[in-house]
Amino acid sequence: MSGTSATLDTLVRPAAPRRTLVARTIAIRELDAATRDAAFALFRGAYEGTSRERFEHDFAEKQHVILLHDRESGALKGFSTVLVRAVDSPRGPATVVFSGDTVIDREYWGQKQLQLAFARLLARLKLAAPARPLYWFLISKGYRTYLLLANAFPRAVPRAGSAEDPRLRALLDAMASERFGGQYDASAGVVRYDTPHERVRDGVAPVTERALANRHVRFFVARNPDHAAGVELACLADVRLRDLARAMLRFSAVRAWRALGLGGTAR
């Protein structure tokens, strides 16, 4: 995810045969100018209303970036920036991971390297301090990003099918208000920007009838009816090791199915 975040919204369509990604996570300070230019070109191709100034601002405040390269050519085909910070929570000192700008070339939709790389980053942070709470703070203008959170982390707000944990809700409201100020509408749980921000281009990840068969998609659309206009739903997940383990196994299974030509999507 200026506090805005372009998100992990378009990652589950089948990828082209034999074109695969490799992921690596590096410090933002290690990113060279050519890779930064390639990242912005990908970003501009996926989102309308982009700004190089806002894009650079997003990179400047983050510590890490997950880079996705074509395995054969080495060309950059996707990226995701990550901010890690310490906060005070109802459970004491905690670590919060915030996802920043993210995009993947459409030819590579459906692969799980980004999700696995992000899960490995979360696992490293959690294993470094197992007793310290770890949260994933996410804002999403697209249902596919929200599905990742809802499917992987049962202790999250907002989430279909479960009562909200008041402590998680209070922490989310506090962090969103701190980051976005008056742009965060706590009563609706969404971020409405005062100035134009990027939005997913028309035709990218539309909300189809098939998608609406999923209860989490229906929930997302109901909670964020203006998502197509760039309004972001604020979310917070309590990251636990057992939930991470299940998610990583599922992502790995999808990769194996696709490598065997069997398809399959984790829902």
Q: What pLDDT was estimated at residue 7?
A: 52
* Both tokens assigned to 37: 């230019």
pLDDT digit string, tens, across residues 137-164: 999 988 888 888 898 999 999 999 888 9
Domain count, the chain: 1
So what's the pLDDT on residue 107? 87
Tokens in use for 129? 């301090």
Residue burial 62-82, b: 16+ Cβ < 10 Å; e: rest: bebbbbbbbeeeeebbbbbbb
- Which pLDDT belongs to residue 4? 47
In-domain check, residue 262: no
C-alpha separations of 17 from 20, 105, 106, 156, 230 in Å: 8, 14, 13, 35, 32
| Residues paired with 136 in a beta bridge | 97, 237
What pLDDT, on a 0 to 100 scale, did the predictor assign at position 201? 66
Looking at the domain assignment, is residue 10 inside a domain? Answer: no
**Is residue 186, in this structure, part of any structural domain at all?**
yes
In a domain, 15, yes or no: no
Let me know if residue 230 belongs to a domain.
yes
Strand-strand pairing, 190-191 and 232-238: antiparallel
In a domain, 244, yes or no: yes
pLDDT for 209 = 86
User: For every one of its 267 residues, what pLDDT tens digit does the chain have, with 9 covering 90 and above?
Assistant: 444 455 554 444 444 445 899 999 999 999 999 999 999 999 988 888 788 998 998 899 999 999 999 999 999 999 999 999 999 998 999 999 998 888 889 888 878 899 899 999 999 999 999 999 999 999 998 888 888 889 899 999 999 988 899 999 999 999 999 999 999 999 999 999 987 676 666 655 678 888 898 899 999 999 999 988 889 999 999 999 999 999 888 877 655 555 545 444 433
**Pairing relation of β-strands 92-104 and 134-140?**
parallel
Write down the pLDDT at residue 262.
45
In a domain, 253, yes or no: yes
Residue 137: Cβ within 10 Å count: 22
Task: Report the pLDDT value the prediction gives residue 210, as an integer from 0 to 100.
Answer: 86
In angstroms, rounded to a whole number, what is the distance separating the alpha carbons of residues 191 and 200? Answer: 16
In angstroms, what CA-CA distances link 166 with 21, 41, 53, 87, 171?
39, 41, 37, 17, 9
Sign of CA dihedral 204, 200, 226, 184: positive
Cis amide bond preceding 225, omega within 30: no
Q: Which domain holds residue 239?
A: 21-257
CATH number at residue 36: 3.40.630.30
- Quick one: DSSP state of residue 163? P
Please state the pTM of the whole predicted model. Answer: 0.83
Does a structural domain hold residue 266? no
Contacts of 205 (CB under 8 A, 6+ apart): 9, 10, 142, 143, 144
Cα–Cα distance measured from residue 209 to residue 199, given in angstroms and rounded to the nearest whole number: 21
